[in-house]
Amino acid sequence: MGKVLHLPGIFFLFSAFVLLLLVSISLPYLTVFDFARVHFNEGGPISIGSDTNAVSQLRFGIWAGCWYEASSGHRACSAAGYAYNTTMYAGSTRADSITIGASWTRGLAIHPVAAGMSLIALLLSLSAHITVRLLAALAAFLASTITLIAFATDIALFAYVKEKASKLDGTTTTTDTAPAFWMTFAAMLLLWLAGGMMCIGRRRDRMSDATNYPMASSKVSKSWRDRFTKA
């Protein structure tokens, strides 16, 4: 009976690992897996960093920020690395600017940690041993906790970028959540479900094994002396 829950748990762990793996690669390598997108709608031109070309959109990933030029649609990205800075300049004179500092992108690196822990949980879940399956469930819950921390980091980055981008002079902006944001949320739910299913499935297997033990007979066999001795 426990296998009915254990097998879906393995599938959920695999799905969560794939989601977190794609999220962990992120920008600038996989351009669609970013966490927040800023659209520059109307007003004066916005430029990013040392690039003086006007841009229409800015995306935030784990390892870099990428932007798209308004005229050509060409994509440019900052240097790939851990904890990057992104500065937005408003107007042709670039007099007004805001910076998303490294302190707000540094925490995004926890996503690969969550992916690694989900992989460990997935590998442990492939074992049929009841103790290893308990470790798999614990690893799944630990991975879900790490993913929860990662998702909280995503929310904080999105809220901060939205608040700062709205203060750019002479332009209107729209800040939206991006695919990696929701992929992290989905992975967190899948890890919770996987851990719960494995715990319940393991418990049912233990209860099933306990009822299969032969019961000791309550009858006591008589010795050969008792058979020939009259009461």
Which two three-digit tokens encode residue 145? 């906790």
Residue position matching structure tokens 């299969």: 212
Q: Provide the 8-state DSSP code for 108.
A: G
3-class DSSP state of 149: helix
Phi and psi at 139, nearest 5°, equal -65, -35
Per-residue buried b or exposed e for 130-164, using 16+ beta carbons within 10 Å of the residue's own CB: eeebbbbbebbbbbbbbbbebbebbeebbebbbeb
> How large is the average pLDDT for residues 55-70?
95
- Least confident range of 18-22, 60-64, 187-191, 197-201: 197-201
* pLDDT, tens digit, 9 for 90 and up, residues 131-169: 888 899 999 999 999 999 999 999 999 999 999 999 888
* pLDDT, tens digit, 9 for 90 and up, residues 189-200: 999 999 998 888
Inform me whether the pLDDT recorded for 228 exceeds 60: no
In this prediction, residue 203 carries a pLDDT of 67
Q: Are strands 96-100 and 86-90 parallel, antiparallel or unpaired?
A: antiparallel
Q: Provide the 8-state DSSP code for 91.
A: S
What does the mean pLDDT of the chain come to?
Answer: 87
Inform me whether the pLDDT recorded for 231 exceeds 50: no
Inform me whether the pLDDT recorded for 208 exceeds 70: no
Class of domain 2-206: mainly alpha
Inform me whether the pLDDT recorded for 98 exceeds 70: yes
Inform me whether the pLDDT recorded for 4 exceeds 80: no
Inform me whether the pLDDT recorded for 2 exceeds 50: no
What's this model's pTM, rounded to 2 decimal places? 0.85
